[in-house]
Amino acid sequence: MSALVKLVSEVAGAGGPADVGVRPTKRSLPTPAGCVILVRMKFPLLRAAFMTAIALTPLTSQQTASQRTPQFENDDVKVWKTLVMPNAPLTMHTHDHARVIVALTGGTMKIVNEDGTSETQRWDTGKAYWLSAAEGKKRHADANQGDKPIEVMVIELKNDSAK
């Protein structure tokens, strides 16, 4: 019997009502008039819903979507952190300015241009890379080719005069 099934059996009871309660302890805040809060599940449907909720609750959460987190911005630069998950390419996009990429967690990135051309770049952890404004203006999507997330800090130079 798995630990989850044992837990559900102990909490929901095997055929009888279950008591789930919160009783005050020395460390808990007092309840009105020292009341003890008890929830009694007497109905089989409620017990089944409770057991289903526990069984369907993931034991671990794993991020599957890539994300972009703003870090800092002023008149000269815009900085964000991007996490690119494996098998979760970024949508087609462009960049107006030149950028410096710092690989916080490196990997192999495939840049697929809208015209069908592509290039593969290897970014090593801890190293910085220059990406020109001209390259950024091409509509493209980035795809992590590895099996682990790639995390980069992007520093966009706003006053680059489109170099």
In terms of pLDDT, which residue wins out, 14 or 92? 92
Domain assignment of residue 74, yes or no: yes
Whether residues 33 and 52 fall in one domain: yes
Query: Who contacts 103 (Cβ-Cβ below 8 Å, separation ≥6)?
Result: 123, 124, 125, 126, 127, 128, 129, 150, 151, 152
pLDDT, residue 160, reads: 83
**What is the spatial distance between Cα 80 and Cα 151, in angstroms, rounded to a whole number?**
11
Whether residues 72 and 52 fall in one domain: no
Q: What is the domain-level CATH number for residue 119?
A: 2.60.120.10
Name the residue range of residue 106's domain. 67-157
Tally of domains within the chain: 2
Enter the pTM of the model: 0.60
pLDDT in tens, 35-90: 444 445 455 655 665 555 555 555 444 566 889 999 999 999 999 999 999 989 99
Whether residues 71 and 50 fall in one domain: no
Whether residues 28 and 104 fall in one domain: no
pLDDT in tens, 85-120: 998 999 999 999 999 999 999 999 999 999 999 999
In terms of pLDDT, which residue wins out, 14 or 94? 94
Whether residues 77 and 153 fall in one domain: yes
